[in-house]
Amino acid sequence: MPFRVIFEPQLDESRGDLRLHFKDAYSILETAISDRAFPGCAFGVLLDGRVVLEDALGKFTYDQNAPSVSTQTLFDVASLTKVIATTAAAMLLHQRGVLDLEMPVGELLPGFVIGREASEHARKVTVRHLLAHSSGLPGYVPLFHAATSPSEIVRGCLNLPIQAEPGTRAEYSDPGFILLGKAIEALTGESLATFVHREVAIPLGLTHTGFCPPNFIRHEIPPTEEDELFRQRQIQGEVQDEHAYVMKGVAGHAGIFSNVPDLLRFSQAILEPDTYTLFRPETVQLFSQRQLPLGSSRALGWDTPSVDSSSGSFFAPESIGHLGYSGCSLWIDRKSGIAIVLLTNRTWPHRESQKIRIVRPLFHDAIRSIA
């Protein structure tokens, strides 16, 4: 373990004191629960290397008899997978000299260029383009309707049209990260889940972070959806994303489950790379830089604050973060030394509600106005 001390919340205040100190943030979350933006949430704040807030509100569902959410509760963090698993793996492989950002994707995944139309564009797509969401791949295509196996999902992504010259258009792309996950597997010769567990989770002590929670703890995870279209059952303790589900729960774009303490540990490794030696400072700096095309908020794997950002008004331009479709978010201000985690299941019971879009910036601003 690279940690000098065991990382545990050292809160100087009681829960009552915390509620008073962060009363505006609590009020925003309580109102959100009352307004059914989500049935429950867990949240935490890391400031200058110390956990200054870690708490939970609400229940797993809107049923009065449902279990209460706690700070230890596991959530399906959806697209946070892109940063805490896939991008983290890319960061490690790059700093070890294994992953070249300018490497053509076709060299790692030959099916990306062989036998496809417009292969001239495909040959130009690099690992950097996938990380920056500027490959020209579409943002989302429902391949799961026809695919019945992981290989069919991957094959579908390999065959998707490149809709723009690589590097000229930024479009957030799940297929791009599905392919990035497979490219990392091609480089490492092992499953993304195995690599992330050994090289990220174990060194950082992320004891509650990973793909595919075991069946016996599924009831301890808030459900994400009453799926009436695809699986036609309640989704609880298994990945909500349909493509990740067809891929047996392990994919580059979604599939990770985690909790607030683990995500704060991960954030500390980003904020203090000199102390927590998983990522080198120069690696964090590199992956935090905005990428082409001009005007894109995307860094390498990470997002950065933009106009009307979910991070609110106070995160510095150098900040990095990401959202998860299920209602989760992680924002890290490297300049101010602060990280904020908010985990919810906003898609329960159905995914149409967008009230989380109002809640996130208000919550972050309430925290940042006093921290």
Give residue-wise pLDDT tens across range 58-98. Answer: 999 999 999 999 999 999 999 999 999 999 999 999 999 99
CA–CA gap between residue 125 and residue 135 (Å, rounded)? 6
How many of the other CB atoms lie within 10 Å of CB of 217? 12
Q: Is the pLDDT of residue 200 over 80?
A: yes
Q: What sign results for the dihedral spanned by CA atoms 56, 52, 217, 324? A: positive
Q: Is the pLDDT of residue 155 over 70?
A: yes
Q: Is the pLDDT of residue 271 over 80?
A: yes
How many of the other CB atoms lie within 10 Å of CB of 58? 22
What band does 285 get if pLDDT is binned at 50, 70 and 90? very high
Report the SS3 class of residue 12: coil
Identify whether the C-beta of residue 304 lies closer than 8 Å to the C-beta of residue 311.
Answer: no
Identify whether the C-beta of residue 355 lies closer than 8 Å to the C-beta of residue 37.
Answer: yes
pTM: 0.95
Kindly provide the b/e burial profile for residues 92-104, where b requires at least 16 CB atoms within 10 angstroms of the residue's own CB: bbbbeeebebeeb
